Amino acid sequence: MPVTYDTIIIGAGIAGSSVAYFLSQKGQNVLVMDKRGIASGGSGAAGAFVSPKIGKGGPLQSLTNEAFEFAKDFYLKHFPAFYHQSGVVRIPKDEEDAAKFSSYEPFNENRYTHFRAEKLKALGIKAPLESFFFPDAGVCDASDMCHALLEDIVYIQNEAEELALNDGMWQAGNYQAKNVVLATGYENRLFDMRYMGVKGSWGTRGDFNSNLPLKVSMHQSISVSANMNGIIRLGATHEKNIKKPVVCEDEQALGLKEKASVLVDTSDMNLVKTVCAMRAGSRDYFPLVGRVIDVPFMLGAYPDIVRGATPKLRYLENLYACNGLGGRGFVFGPLMGKWLADYIFDAKEIDKRVDPDRLFFKWCRKHYT
């Protein structure tokens, strides 16, 4: 007989780990499956900065900064060993970019201060332009954080090659559960979820041994972490031109060191680890959190959808997604995990900003007309 759980989560990155944590906190018996390992994909290769989004406002910035406040409080309370609250300096790329920073100030909802060139120099940062410093921001130990989230949860390294619904229970090999959460990142071979528009963005991070007394983290065109236990992390990049995973080469990380030399002294940095993988983002950069639509049924039953009809949606029973967190996975992960757990366990409505339903009808009209 299959081993029975309340929920099976497929994918053990920051998205799947966060959902698993919050469902477990509600007393659910949860199984997490991943074909490669915990934080083996985009989450493990992330720079894992936890910082606000700057800009001229708007729904995405507002959601990001709401998620940032939740995430940093969550990490500090529950997993402080794996969250380094170094603060993060946001440095303009050039004079033109610096001129824009003043227009961002009315929309900086999170605590910040100005760092002028003299202050940056005192910190060992070679940047002549006035910057924003967010003292509550920081950097996660990406892999360690995901492992910590799953510490008291059953995890197996196994690929769910097929999911079948039998008598109200989802079957995945020798396991079954009422609910399934797909947190599979840029890969999905189980259901037709093309309407969500998940796309991959290749990222490379280099971890360097260094004695440089760098106390703060920073982001300009590259991310440079504070020195955390003798390690400074550079990256991760966003290489949208790479569509499929490629061989991870040290030369990529050494290229990051060269770029970082514009900001800090990299002379004693020695590469100890190169990590790269594909991260998953959505078409509109908002996370994808909610139920999964039964696409074959909808297209077959309502052919007028492609001409603008908007019938009531039908969903695959007790099947959910938590995906598309993009380059801010460790910002979005905890809040998205909580929201989905609240929906599954308490039937609390999903926030419309992240509900994947928002994309379905537009996708139908675009791809079938």
Instruction: Say what the pTM is.
Output: 0.95
For residues 62 and 335, what is the distance between their CA atoms, to the nearest angstrom?
13
Sheet with 270-281: list strands edge to edge: 113-115, 131-134, 88-90, 217-219, 223-224, 231-235, 199-209, 270-281
- Average pLDDT taken over every residue of the chain: 95
- Provide the pairing of β-strand 3-10 with 175-182: parallel
CA distances from residue 49 to 15, 55, 166, 327, 331 in whole angstroms, order as listed: 15, 17, 42, 9, 8
Q: Give the residue-averaged pLDDT of 141-161.
A: 95
Bridge partners, residue 233, by sequence: 207
In the predicted model, is pLDDT for residue 152 greater than 90? yes
Q: Give the residue-averaged pLDDT of 335-354.
A: 97
Q: Give the residue-averaged pLDDT of 101-125.
A: 95
Residue 103 is inside which H or E element, if any?
helix 95-104
Confidence of residue 332 (pLDDT cuts 50, 70, 90): very high
User: What is the full DSSP assignment across 209-269?
Assistant: E------SEEESSSEE---BTTEEEEE---BTT--S-----HHHHHHHHHHHTTTS--TT-
**Tokens found for residue 313:** 């949606």
For residues 233 and 27, what is the distance between their CA atoms, to the nearest angstrom?
36
Per-residue pLDDT at 363: 95
**26-37 per-position pLDDT tens digit:** 999 999 999 999
User: What is the full DSSP assignment across 41-61?
Assistant: STTTTS--EE-PPPSS--HHH
**221-264 per-position pLDDT tens digit:** 899 999 999 999 999 888 878 878 888 889 999 999 999 999 99
Render the burial of 85-95: b for 16+ CB within 10 Å, e for the rest: bbbbbbbbeee
In the predicted model, is pLDDT for residue 359 greater than 70? yes
In the predicted model, is pLDDT for residue 11 greater than 90? yes
Q: pLDDT exceeding 70 applies to what percent of the chain?
A: 100
Per-residue pLDDT at 233: 97
Bridge partners, residue 32, by sequence: 9, 155
Confidence of residue 369 (pLDDT cuts 50, 70, 90): low
Residue type, 339: W
Domains of the chain: 3-42+144-198+283-367 (3.50.50.60), 85-137+204-276 (3.30.9.10)
Provide the phi-psi class of 108: left if phi over 0, else alpha when psi is between -120 and 50, else beta: beta
Residue 316 is inside which H or E element, if any?
strand 315-323
Bridge partners, residue 205, by sequence: 235, 275
Per-residue pLDDT at 69: 98
In the predicted model, is pLDDT for residue 187 greater than 90? no
If one counts every other C-beta atom within 10 angstroms of the C-beta of residue 45, the result is: 25
For residues 299 and 40, what is the distance between their CA atoms, to the nearest angstrom?
35
**298-311 per-position pLDDT tens digit:** 999 999 999 999 99
Question: Rounded to the nearest 10 degrees, how much is the dihedral formed by the CA atoms of 308, 325, 348, 360?
Answer: 10
User: What is the full DSSP assignment across 10-41?
Assistant: E--SHHHHHHHHHHHHTT--EEEEESS-TT-S
